[in-house]
């Protein structure tokens, strides 16, 4: 089985389920299977740049991945703080995104922005959960898979 990164879980087609689990205090599994979607084959693309040129993005992505497991989500206030932390982390990583996945990563940043805005605008945790359940954008799944594939091949 393939391992889904927290970024893909948060921003792929599973974004609603992952954020809902997060908002509910649940736990997402690293063992769940993923379906490969069409789209960019970013995992096999490289610029030929030395590994050091990818390191800032890989490090920022690793920090984001670690952060997602540490977020509190018992109240709407905690979700808001966590969503803002995720927003800040992906924006920082976006600055270092390699050209091969820059467009896809920007889509993912847009998704985090959407969810951070949803958290800010939701007066209750229940309304946030309902908004997460209603959120649907298939483009995030393809973008998330491309970023995950690139990360697996290059970091």
Q: What is the pLDDT of residues 76-121, one digit of tens each?
A: 999 999 999 999 989 989 989 999 999 999 998 998 899 899 999 9
- Residue percentage of the chain with pLDDT more than 90: 38
Does residue 73 form part of some domain?
A: yes
Task: Give the residue numbers spanning the domain of 110.
Answer: 6-27+50-154
- Point out the least confidently predicted range of 40-44, 60-64, 143-147: 40-44
Does residue 34 form part of some domain?
A: no
Does residue 63 form part of some domain?
A: yes
Does residue 116 form part of some domain?
A: yes
Confidence tier at 31 by pLDDT (50, 70, 90) = very low
151 class by beta-carbon count within 10 Å (0-12 exposed, 13-18 middle, 19+ buried): buried
Q: How many domains does the chain have?
A: 1
Using a cut of 0.75, tell me whether the model's pTM lies above it: no
């Amino acid at each position: 089985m393939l391992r889904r990164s927290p970024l893909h879980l948060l921003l792929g087609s599973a974004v609603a389920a992952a954020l809902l689990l997060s908002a509910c205090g649940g736990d997402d599994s690293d063992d769940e299977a993923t379906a490969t979607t069409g789209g960019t084959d970013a995992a096999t693309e490289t610029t030929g740049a030395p590994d050091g040129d990818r390191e800032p993005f890989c490090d920022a992505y690793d920090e984001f991945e670690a952060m997602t497991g540490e977020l509190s989500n018992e109240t709407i206030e905690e979700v808001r703080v966590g969503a803002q932390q995720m927003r800040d982390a992906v924006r920082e990583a976006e600055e270092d995104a390699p050209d091969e996945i820059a467009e896809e990563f920007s889509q993912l940043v847009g998704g985090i922005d959407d969810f951070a805005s949803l958290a800010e605008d939701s007066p209750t945790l229940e309304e946030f959960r309902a908004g997460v359940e209603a959120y649907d954008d298939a483009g995030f799944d393809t973008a998330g898979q491309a970023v995950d594939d690139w990360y697996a091949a290059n970091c």
